[in-house]
Structure 1
Amino acid sequence: MKFNQSATEKAETVNHEGAKAYAMTPALELYSAVATTMLSDISYESAFHRLARIRTLVRKVSPTFVAQLALYAREQLYLRSAPVVLIGELAKHHHGDSLISRTVARVVQRPDEITELLAYYQLTNNRQETKKLGRLSKQLQKGLRIAFNKFDEYQFAKYNRAAQVKLRDALFLVHPKAKDEAQQVIFDRIVTNTLQPPYTWENELSSLGKQPFADEAAKKTAFRNKWEELVASGRLGYMATLRNLRNMLDAEVSVATIQRVCDLLGDAAAVDRAKQLPFRFLAAYREIKSVKSGHVAMLNDALETALQLSVANLRGFTAETRVVIACDVSGSMQVSVSARSKVRLYDIGLLLGMLLQSKCKNVLCGLFGDTWKTVNLPGRNVLANVEELYRREGEVGYSTNGYLVIDDLINRNYIADKVMLFTDTQLWDSRTNNMSQDNTIEAKWAAYKQLAPNASLYLFDLAGHKNVPLQVESNDVYLLAGWSDKVFDVLQALEDGESALSKIEAISL
């Protein structure tokens, strides 16, 4: 079955700015909503309403597609909350076969996802009685039993948190069968809460912080030694290393330690295992840029290398392919991806745009808001390019006049092959208050196709709202969604004549 077929009824609607827009098919809307959320408030939509919309959409598509999307979100987009929601809703509405258990067993990749899934199951089924998790779905229970067998004592101890649903509760509910005597010992320790404390940077630093020191100098020396020990031990994970670059610089660790960190960041195998979203490298880059240390340059180079390694399979275009990359810097893009993150949708658009630019030979890139402005940047040093664009975003204002990108191409008689907009898709004409149907991206694209009949327009949806400014899968207009470099796999599928959902539909269950 193809889920991305054009709707038989072209449902016209309006977007959040009151401009003309089009509704998506349920499957495409669900994909867009899931690929662009950490279930935090964003412009135009609260986390509560995003969750409610995902729940409604799940019931409008095939259970198989929901399972495939959950696996795609967890295994390829590296999201955690959205797959939990999809599985919880699937368990609520779908019964009778092993689809749920097989999907759960793959989606759960950390011990705390067992308890997260149980907590969500309790929430979505409105359990209020004393035994809130009684009458657990048999297939959910079966999948969680398999998941319990994935983890060792270190992993269980690391994620054994004092939450509403604890690992101990999950063990009693799921009744997993230990695969051997050693695992049975671990299960018994979960029950008695006697798991061996894990060696983690959090525990090590917390323990050190509780010790008395003669003076501030002694304390600083102790923390410097501890960071050097953590790095030398090889047990400081890749993401933990990214998160703590500033702490290491502040502790004034040795140049040998910094070199070890750089070696880890730039190790291709380590990058592949870490499976970090591209914006994690940007967050680390920004965190250290103001630190007064001679080691910042080394770390910046390592982060650029790591980012390039993380997208090593990103395919660009030939020297003959003329590409236009336009990044939306409107006010609605100035919102963080989650409550705890400093990275905004705007940052992700710039980063994905610059990643794509680095793979293209003939590219025109720029920013749009009130106006559209092209910016010439080198192909190398993606993170530095993002910072340069970030510095210049105020030059174009904060509206969403995306039609100006196409209008400029028409006025200059510029024949592009690929026009790519990184946006929240809530495009409108701020100059005439939405009253003119001439100043819409739909009208401008129709006019541009007369000039460049072979051109394609790609909307990289970074916010997952339920409408788009022009009909997709029509007149060479395509929608892609997400914050991961995997969005470029979807681009390649479209280039190969497949649909935007082909990568999801191809997932075996």
Structure 2
Amino acid sequence: MANTQLFQSLKGKFLPQANAANFEGAPAYAMSPRHQLAQYAATGCLNATYYASAEAQLETVLELCKEVDAHFVAQTAVYCRERGYMKDMPALLTATLAGKGSPELSRTFKRVINNGKMLRNFVQIMRSGAVGRKSLGTRPKKLVQAWLNNASEKDLLSAAVGNAPSLADVVKMVHPKPAEAWREAFFAWLIGKAYDPQALPPLVKAFEAYKADRSQPLPNVPFQMLTALELSDQAWAQIARQSGWQMLRMNLNTFARHGVYALPGMTACIAEKLRDAEAIAKAMVFPYQLMAAYAAANKEIPMEISEALQDAMEIALNNVPEIAGKVVVCPDVSGSMHSSATGYRGSATSAVRCIDVAALMAAAMLRKNPDTLVLPFENDVVACNVNPRDSVMTNASKLASIGGGGTNCSAPLAQLNKNKAKADLVIFVSDNESWVDAKRGGATATMREWNIFKQRNPNARLACIDITPYSTTQAVERADILNIGGFSDDIFQIVADFAAGQLSSAHWVGEIQSIVI
């Protein structure tokens, strides 16, 4: 009879050897430089995380930008802005192209720097010296001038909200030469120089008129320009009616403080705006931002508004695809996942944790694929009853309320193997900092368990979604294993394409490389 122990050990020898260590010092697999850059760009907000400081992240990204070619840097910047909805990282990558004098700079700038906030981010990074210079340089200066000379009045006013640098600082740096009289008057008004009041554009003219006489109509300007003024409840209601979707989401408690919901029809008006599918899509909202708004809603906010946020969540996740076959989702609920999803930013730190994002992704997949098996894990798999008929928000809250132990990424696979379970797609949502299952030498425990699982499910695929800016994984990239990073709903479609065998052999990196610059 064959020696079963011998042949079982031989199987393990053919698995890829771990070639790196994660932040816990446990065996892991290093991603390629391109994959690392994509991972940092799609998840990093340049703030301190559970394992890495903001400075360490910045240093890593800059080193990776030196290792990979400028064209891929440009593709990553565009992907992370257009499909990943990121802000700081795409601006940083665009700035590195400026620092290199890359020919891709102009085309990348036009796609990444698509609003005033992104413009100020870009200028701030360039002036900081982070990419090797403290001046903008000729080409970047011309690109900034072109943005200023082509932006609409509304875009310029939105850009004027914020500091470090302010839009006024940017104008003083680059000295735009506008062709229109209204733009020339606007820039003069912005930086405090003499201007012709009659030449001011309509919104600024209305704003100045309102400051001088409160009987004038409330101007449709960013509400931050109005908050220094004493406003009536009716004026706050008008602000709510005029506001964009993201601004509305972020100020629900503010409207409660100013009595807006008590005014006739305003609760229904705000709820309707929150449920507007077109506005949700245009706002490029992260699903977790809706969870944050729902969690932050205080007792003064009407139930109709909370219900509208739940409706908005369902709409935001409309494009979560149905996946053929049996799906298993494994959200990481360990201690490290309780850190802020966007990193530590002092008093501005987001209340949304990595565990909330993982729970939300699992709940969204369950909602669209009701037969999905959900296996949350920490030291081991944690029991949690979730109902596919419950709302995404309800199931996400259940999952996010459990866990807190160490990280054992192999635990769900070990349980599936113990139960001799069948599945076509297994999805992990984790930070990949597995250490409870660490062993010296050879493959990671996750790869060992996946190897056993594959013997029973030869066509199964494993998708590892990482929501942290780190550079190792527990499952090495290969034909049946996808490693992908990010928060946006674009992740779900890529996972679905992978499950259907529709991704190129380069998987996620291949998706980025397909972007035409």
Query: Would you call these one fold, judging by a TM-score over 0.5?
Result: yes
- Where do 1:357-506 residues align within 5 Å? 357-379=366-388, 380-391=390-401, 393-394=402-403, 397-429=404-436, 434=439, 440-474=445-479, 476-494=480-498, 495=500, 496-498=502-504, 499-506=507-514
Instruction: Please give the secondary structure, in 2, of the residue aligned with 1:59.
Output: helix
For 2:91, the equivalent position in structure 1 comes to 84
Separation of aligned partners in 1, 2:263 and 2:175 = 49
355, 362, 374: which one pairs with 2:364?
355
Task: Give the gaps of 5 or more residues in structure 2.
Answer: 1-15, 208-219
For 1:146, the equivalent position in structure 2 comes to 146
> How far apart are 1:374 and its partner, in Å?
4.5
Q: 1:126-171, CA deviations, whole angstroms, 9 ceiling, x for partnerless residues? A: 889xxx52xx333322322332234233432343367454434433
> How far apart are 1:76 and its partner, in Å?
1.9
For 1:235, the equivalent position in structure 2 comes to 242
For 1:286, the equivalent position in structure 2 comes to 295
CA contact (8 A) 1:429 1:440 kept: no
Is 1:333 equivalent to 2:337 in the alignment? yes
Q: 1:249-304, CA deviations, whole angstroms, 9 ceiling, x for partnerless residues? A: 4435236211111110111111122111111100111012x5156x22x2232112
229, 235, 244: which one pairs with 1:207?
229
Deviates more, 1:49-58 or 1:434-443: 434-443
Separation of aligned partners in 1, 2:169 and 2:28 = 47
For 2:322, the equivalent position in structure 1 comes to 316
Separation of aligned partners in 1, 2:18 and 2:448 = 17
Deviates more, 1:322-331 or 1:332-341: 332-341
For 1:342, the equivalent position in structure 2 comes to 351
CA contact (8 A) 2:99 2:131 kept: no
CA contact (8 A) 1:104 1:144 kept: no
- Where do 1:63-74 residues align within 5 Å? 63-74=70-81
Separation of aligned partners in 2, 1:55 and 1:263 = 44
> How far apart are 1:117 and its partner, in Å?
1.5
Q: 1:196-228, CA deviations, whole angstroms, 9 ceiling, x for partnerless residues? A: 35733334333127xxxxxxxxxxxx4x43432
- Relative distance call for 1:324 and 1:112 in structure 2 (3 A) is closer
Deviates more, 1:143-152 or 1:300-309: 143-152
- Relative distance call for 1:192 and 1:228 in structure 2 (3 A) is closer
> How far apart are 1:27 and its partner, in Å?
0.7
CA contact (8 A) 1:364 1:376 kept: no
Separation of aligned partners in 1, 2:310 and 2:163 = 38
Is 1:12 equivalent to 2:19 in the alignment? yes
Aligned letter for 2:508? A
TM-score by length of structure 1 reads: 0.85
Instruction: Please give the secondary structure, in 2, of the residue aligned with 1:149.
Output: helix
Is 1:277 equivalent to 2:286 in the alignment? yes
> How far apart are 1:80 and its partner, in Å?
1.1
CA contact (8 A) 2:113 2:119 kept: yes
Deviates more, 1:46-55 or 1:104-113: 104-113
> How far apart are 1:109 and its partner, in Å?
2.0
Separation of aligned partners in 2, 1:366 and 1:172 = 55
For 1:301, the equivalent position in structure 2 comes to 307
- Relative distance call for 1:101 and 1:387 in structure 2 (3 A) is same
> How far apart are 1:66 and its partner, in Å?
0.8
Separation of aligned partners in 1, 2:496 and 2:379 = 31
For 2:516, the equivalent position in structure 1 comes to 508
For 1:31, the equivalent position in structure 2 comes to 38
Aligned letter for 1:497? L
Separation of aligned partners in 2, 1:187 and 1:292 = 41
Deviates more, 1:337-346 or 1:104-113: 104-113
Size of the aligned set, in residue pairs, is: 468
> How far apart are 1:82 and its partner, in Å?
0.5
For 1:182, the equivalent position in structure 2 comes to 182
Task: Give the gaps of 5 or more residues in structure 1.
Answer: 1-8, 210-221
273, 276, 283: which one pairs with 1:264?
273
Separation of aligned partners in 1, 2:118 and 2:464 = 32
Separation of aligned partners in 2, 1:506 and 1:180 = 39
Instruction: Please give the secondary structure, in 1, of the residue aligned with 2:242.
Output: coil
Instruction: Please give the secondary structure, in 1, of the residue aligned with 2:462.
Output: strand
- Relative distance call for 1:150 and 1:265 in structure 2 (3 A) is farther
> How far apart are 1:388 and its partner, in Å?
1.7
Instruction: Please give the secondary structure, in 1, of the residue aligned with 2:146.
Output: helix
Instruction: Please give the secondary structure, in 2, of the residue aligned with 1:372.
Output: coil
Separation of aligned partners in 2, 1:110 and 1:438 = 46
Runs of 4 or more above 6 Å deviation: 436-439
- Where do 1:154-169 residues align within 5 Å? 154-160=154-160, 163-169=163-169
Aligned letter for 2:394? A
Separation of aligned partners in 2, 1:58 and 1:438 = 29
